[in-house]
């Protein structure tokens, strides 16, 4: 239930922000119209439309914001199915849908608002609306709303490509100076990757990695994870420490991903001749977050917590386990969750002075 509420909350927040941007944009457009003294075909030229202009702007902006926000949300949630389409194709399709939506919304809102404010919809009102739809002002509205819509779409697209929240942090310069944070990391790597690469060849092996990471996307979204980076056939996920621990999302994401791969086993068998398997290592703690690079800027994590997570993942083959966790993570998970962890042994990880006790788990309710 909490997970479902979280999804709806994310959608509602996204729609509210989108609507706010559209409301501001429409009133900005109105301000531009008012200050353009040479605009002889403004909405203000039509007495009836002048009365209902504010109503129209508010209803139109909320309606458009909601509809286009839902379309953006659908695109984000179904990026896996859209992966085969180019960004150009998506933008052109989005543009056509936008044009149709704007015309439909403006028409419906205009007719309803005229009926409400005038008490009827007679021939005079119809003529006035018809003149408005033939005016240059409608073209200006279409161009303005298209620019706003594309800006919103591209910002969300870039934000998704960089990783949720990274774009805003870069714009605000939040990590120009390194800051301490407490994060949870999961390093996940394809088993027998060298063997598969030799078996498939580099082209088909790349397609395999694309398919696997595409199937990882719904698990990442469902478990509120952020994709820190992809390194070859390895994916690194992160959470704010408490968020990843509270509902054991750091474990849940791995088993959910395994179940998705299992459901698509026929696809993998038919295309590649085997079903891929992954191994994972989990650890968390305090790290430093900093903005790095000049030619290419990104947010980087530095510290023992992330290094240890990578080292733990590297021990999966030695213990013949799919997933390994540090003792600290296991203890914190058990405070709010029930799980049957398997205690292994204390080992000396590379670069660590003290030995680290490792745990594993065979199954987890997803």
Place of tokens 């996307």: 217
The predicted structure's pLDDT at residue 83: 61
State the average pLDDT for the chain. Answer: 82
**pLDDT tens digits for range 34-74:** 665 444 444 444 444 454 455 666 777 788 788 877 877 77
Q: How far apart are CA 322 and CA 324, in angstroms?
A: 7
> Highest mean pLDDT range out of 7-11, 25-29, 264-268?
264-268
Per-residue pLDDT for 163 more than 60?
yes
Other CB atoms within 10 Å distance of the CB of residue 227: 16
pLDDT of residue 52: 46
Q: CA Rg, the chain, in Å?
A: 26
Contact 15, 9 (CB under 8 A): no
Strands (E), the chain: 179-190, 226-231, 234-240, 278-292, 298-302, 323-326, 341-347, 356-361
Whether residue 325 is predicted with pLDDT greater than 60 in this model: the reply is yes
3-state secondary structure of 228: strand
Where is pLDDT greater, at 301 or 67?
301
The residue among 24 and 315 whose pLDDT is bigger is 315
Which two tokens mark 320? 């013949």
Confidence of residue 122 (pLDDT cuts 50, 70, 90): low
Q: How far apart are CA 184 and CA 162, in angstroms?
A: 19
pLDDT confidence of residue 85: 67
- pLDDT band for position 314 (50/70/90)? very high
Cα–Cα nearest to 311, from 281, 285, 341: 281
Instruction: Give the integer Cα–Cα distance in Å for 2 and 7.
Output: 9
What was the pLDDT predicted at 294?
77
Summarize the confidence of residues 179-183 as an average pLDDT: 93
Of 334, 284, 281, 325, nearest to 182 (Cα)?
Answer: 284
List the domain boundaries for the chain.
2-162, 174-361
Find out whether 117 and 48 touch, Cβ atoms under 8 Å. yes
Q: Are 65 and 21 in contact (CB under 8 A)?
A: yes
- What does the pLDDT average to over 26-40? 65
Distance (Å, whole) CA 258 – CA 365: 12
Give pLDDT, residue 62: 82
- 221: CB partners within 8 A, 6+ apart: 77
- Lowest-confidence range among 138-152, 225-239, 301-315, 337-351? 138-152
Output 153 or 258, whichever has higher pLDDT. Answer: 258
- What phi, psi does 162 have (nearest 5°)? -75, -25
Is the pLDDT at 1 greater than 50? The verdict is no
CATH of domain 174-361: 3.30.70.1230
Cα–Cα dist 11/63, whole Å: 16
pLDDT for the residue numbered 343: 94
Which tokens belong to 167?
A: 């774009």
Q: Please answer whether residues 322 and 349 qualify as being in contact, where contact means their C-beta atoms are separated by less than 8 angstroms.
A: no
Q: What's the confidence (pLDDT) of residue 81?
A: 59
Q: What is the pLDDT at residue 56?
A: 65
* Residue 289 neighbours by CB under 8 Å, 6+ apart: 175, 178, 179, 180, 181, 299, 300, 301, 302
pLDDT of residue 36: 59
Residue scoring higher pLDDT (296 or 248): 248
Whether residue 170 is predicted with pLDDT greater than 50 in this model: the reply is yes
Q: CA-based diameter of the chain, in Å?
A: 86
> Is this structure's pTM higher than 0.85?
no
């Amino acid at each position: 239930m909490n997970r479902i509420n979280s999804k709806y909350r994310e959608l509602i927040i996204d729609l509210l922000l989108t609507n706010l941007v559209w409301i501001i944009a429409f009133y900005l457009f109105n301000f531009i119209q008012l200050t353009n003294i040479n605009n002889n075909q403004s909405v203000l030229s039509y007495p009836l439309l002048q009365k209902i202009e504010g109503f129209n702007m508010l209803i139109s902006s909320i309606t458009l914001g909601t509809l286009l926000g839902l379309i953006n949300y659908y695109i984000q949630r179904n990026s896996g199915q859209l992966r085969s389409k180019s960004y150009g194709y998506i933008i052109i399709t989005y543009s056509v849908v936008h044009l149709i939506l704007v015309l439909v919304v403006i028409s419906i809102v205009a007719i309803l608002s005229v009926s409400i404010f005038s008490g009827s919809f007679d021939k005079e009102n119809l003529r006035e609306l018809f003149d408005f739809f033939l005016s240059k002002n409608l073209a200006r509205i279409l161009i303005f709303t298209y620019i706003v819509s594309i800006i919103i779409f591209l910002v969300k697209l870039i934000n998704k490509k960089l990783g949720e929240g990274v774009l805003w942090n870069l714009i605000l310069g939040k990590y120009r100076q390194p800051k301490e944070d407490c994060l949870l990391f999961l390093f996940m790597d394809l088993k027998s990757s060298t063997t598969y690469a030799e078996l498939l060849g580099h082209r088909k092996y790349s397609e395999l990695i694309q398919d696997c990471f595409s199937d990882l996307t719904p698990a990442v979204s469902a478990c509120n994870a952020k994709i820190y980076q992809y390194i070859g056939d390895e994916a690194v996920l992160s959470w704010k420490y408490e968020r990843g621990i509270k509902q054991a999302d750091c474990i849940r994401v791995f088993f959910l991903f395994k179940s998705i791969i299992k459901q698509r086993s026929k696809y993998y068998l038919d295309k590649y001749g085997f079903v891929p398997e992954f191994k994972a290592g989990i650890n968390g703690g305090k790290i430093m977050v900093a903005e790095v690079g000049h030619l290419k800027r990104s947010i980087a994590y530095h510290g023992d917590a992330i290094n240890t997570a990578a080292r733990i993942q590297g021990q999966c083959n030695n213990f013949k386990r799919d997933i390994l966790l540090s003792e600290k993570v296991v203890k914190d998970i058990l405070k709010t969750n029930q799980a049957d962890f398997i205690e292994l042994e204390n080992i000396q990880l590379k670069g660590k002075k003290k030995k680290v006790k490792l745990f594993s788990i065979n199954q987890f309710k997803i």
